[in-house]
C-alpha cells in the first residue's frame, strides 16, 4: 500500500463570474447566433415586399399565411426578418472596423514606443491631431465624399478610431521594452517586427482588449448613427440604424418599426458596455475602484 495518497483531487479555481455578466454574455451570444443563423431562422425573405400589407402591427397574419410577429415596414416587408438580417450587417461592420482600427492603432503605437525618436514624435502628434477632430464628423465627411457602401463604411470607421489604441499600445510598449526578456531577444538578433509581434504584443494584449471592447460598443452606435443619417448601409440591405431611419417617418402610425430594432441596439450596446466595464476591472486592477 502506498503511503502517498492523494489527499484531494486538484480542482482549478474558476473565476467567479457575477450573474449580470453571465446574463449580458448570453445576450451577446444570442444576438451573434441569430445574426449567423439569419438565413435559416428568418420566417420570411427580408426583401420581399407586400404593398397591400404595409405597416401592419405585430402579430398580423399576412395573405400568404405568414404571421408577421413584429409587424411589417413601410413596404410590407417582415420586420422580424429584417431585424435578423440587420443584425448581420450591424455586427459585421462593428467587428471589422474594430479589427481595422486595432491593427492600425496597435501597430503604430508599438512602433512609436519601440523606435522612439522621430517615429514617436510623428505618430503621437498624429494621434493628438486625430483626436481633435470629432470622429463622428470626420466619418460623416469621409463617407459623404467617398459615397456609401459596406466596405467603405468599415474602412472609414476603422481609420477614424485608431488613436485610442495607439495611446494604450504606446504606453504599454514603453513599459515592456526594457524588461530583460525583451533585451535578451534583441541581443539574440531578433528584428523589430518579431520582437513587437511575438514578444511585446502578447504582453500588452490585456489593456488593448479593454479598449477594443469599449470601442466595439461605440462602433455599433456609430454605424447605427451613420445609417440613420442615410450615410451608411444603403437600401435594400439594412442595418438596425437604417431600419430605424425609415421607421422614424412612420413613428406615429407604426411605432414597432423604430421600437424593435431600437431595443435590440440598446440591449446589445448595454451588454457590451457592462462586459467591457467588468473586463476592465478584472484585467486592470489599478482601475478598480476601491
Write out the residues near another protein by the rule CB under 8 A: 125-126, 128-130, 132-138, 140-142, 144-147, 217, 221, 224-225, 228-231, 241, 244, 248, 251-252, 255, 258, 262, 265-266, 269-270, 273-274, 289-290
**Residue 228 C-beta: closest distance to another protein, Å:** 5
Identity of the residue, 38 or 272, whose beta carbon is nearer to another protein in the bound complex: 272
**Residue 116 C-beta: closest distance to another protein, Å:** 19
Identity of the residue, 37 or 131, whose beta carbon is nearer to another protein in the bound complex: 131
**Residue 157 C-beta: closest distance to another protein, Å:** 14
CB 192 within 8 A of CB 116: no
**Residue 287 C-beta: closest distance to another protein, Å:** 9
Identity of the residue, 144 or 184, whose beta carbon is nearer to another protein in the bound complex: 144
Nearest to 213 by CA among 254, 138, 133, 268: 268
**Residue 265 C-beta: closest distance to another protein, Å:** 6
**Residue 21 C-beta: closest distance to another protein, Å:** 13
Identity of the residue, 150 or 255, whose beta carbon is nearer to another protein in the bound complex: 255
Identity of the residue, 124 or 195, whose beta carbon is nearer to another protein in the bound complex: 124
Identity of the residue, 37 or 133, whose beta carbon is nearer to another protein in the bound complex: 133
Amino acid at each position: 500500500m502506498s503511503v502517498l495518497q492523494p489527499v484531494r483531487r486538484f480542482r482549478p479555481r474558476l473565476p467567479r463570474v457575477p450573474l449580470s455578466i453571465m446574463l449580458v454574455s448570453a445576450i451577446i451570444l444570442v444576438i451573434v447566433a441569430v445574426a449567423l443563423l439569419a438565413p435559416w431562422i428568418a420566417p420570411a425573405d427580408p426583401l420581399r415586399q407586400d404593398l397591400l400589407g404595409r405597416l401592419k402591427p405585430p402579430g398580423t397574419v399576412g395573405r400568404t399565411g405568414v404571421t408577421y410577429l413584429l409587424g411589417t415596414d413601410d413596404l410590407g416587408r417582415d420586420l422580424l426578418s429584417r431585424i435578423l438580417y440587420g443584425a448581420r450587417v450591424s455586427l459585421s461592420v462593428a467587428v471589422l472596423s474594430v479589427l481595422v482600427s486595432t491593427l492600425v492603432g496597435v501597430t503604430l503605437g508599438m512602433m512609436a514606443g519601440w523606435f522612439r525618436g522621430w517615429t514617436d514624435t510623428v505618430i503621437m502628434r498624429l494621434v493628438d491631431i486625430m483626436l481633435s477632430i470629432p470622429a463622428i464628423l470626420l466619418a460623416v465627411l469621409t463617407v459623404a465624399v467617398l459615397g456609401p457602401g459596406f466596405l467603405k463604411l468599415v474602412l472609414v470607421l476603422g481609420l477614424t478610431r485608431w488613436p485610442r489604441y495607439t495611446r494604450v499600445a504606446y504606453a504599454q510598449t514603453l513599459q515592456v521594452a526594457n524588461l530583460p526578456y525583451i533585451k535578451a531577444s534583441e541581443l539574440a538578433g531578433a528584428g523589430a517586427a518579431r520582437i513587437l509581434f511575438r514578444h511585446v504584443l502578447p504582453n500588452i494584449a490585456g489593456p488593448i482588449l479593454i479598449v477594443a471592447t469599449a470601442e466595439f460598443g461605440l462602433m455599433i452606435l456609430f454605424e447605427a448613427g451613420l445609417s440613420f443619417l442615410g450615410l451608411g448601409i444603403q437600401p435594400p440591405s439594412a442595418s438596425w440604424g437604417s431600419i430605424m431611419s425609415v421607421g422614424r417617418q412612420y413613428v406615429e402610425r407604426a411605432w414597432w418599426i423604430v421600437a424593435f430594432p431600437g431595443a435590440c441596439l440598446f440591449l446589445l450596446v448595454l451588454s457590451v458596455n457592462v462586459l467591457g466595464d467588468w473586463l476592465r476591472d478584472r484585467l486592470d486592477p489599478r482601475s478598480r475602484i476601491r
